[in-house]
Amino acid sequence: MPIYEYQCQSCNHELEALQKIADAPLVECPACGQASLQKKISAAGFRLKGGGWYETDFKSGSKKNLAGDSSAPSSGSKSADKPASGGQA
């Protein structure tokens, strides 16, 4: 259930309420008793950021790199270009 923020237009009292989406908005202020509560618009408590977080989470095989360049090789051919770690110092 989402948490909604309210502010009273009469006494400026602020409160948070855990409500279902289908519930009617609160109207009566618990501090002053007036019917002047108004729902505030606020940011979510979390943020999903970054490129393609949703595209790679549950996909497998060739569908895994949808956000990347389509001409990029999907196999590990770049690893053949890297020198082996160990002998050189």
Per-residue model confidence (pLDDT) at position 31: 95
Of 36, 51, 43, 48, residue with least CA distance to 6: 36
pLDDT in tens, 8-63: 999 999 999 999 989 999 999 999 999 999 999 877 666 666 666 565 556 566 65
- φ and ψ of 61, to 5 deg: 65, -140
Residues 54 and 64 sit within 8 Å (Cβ to Cβ): no
pLDDT in tens, 57-84: 565 666 555 555 555 555 554 544 555 5
Per-residue model confidence (pLDDT) at position 42: 79
**pTM reported for the whole predicted model:** 0.49
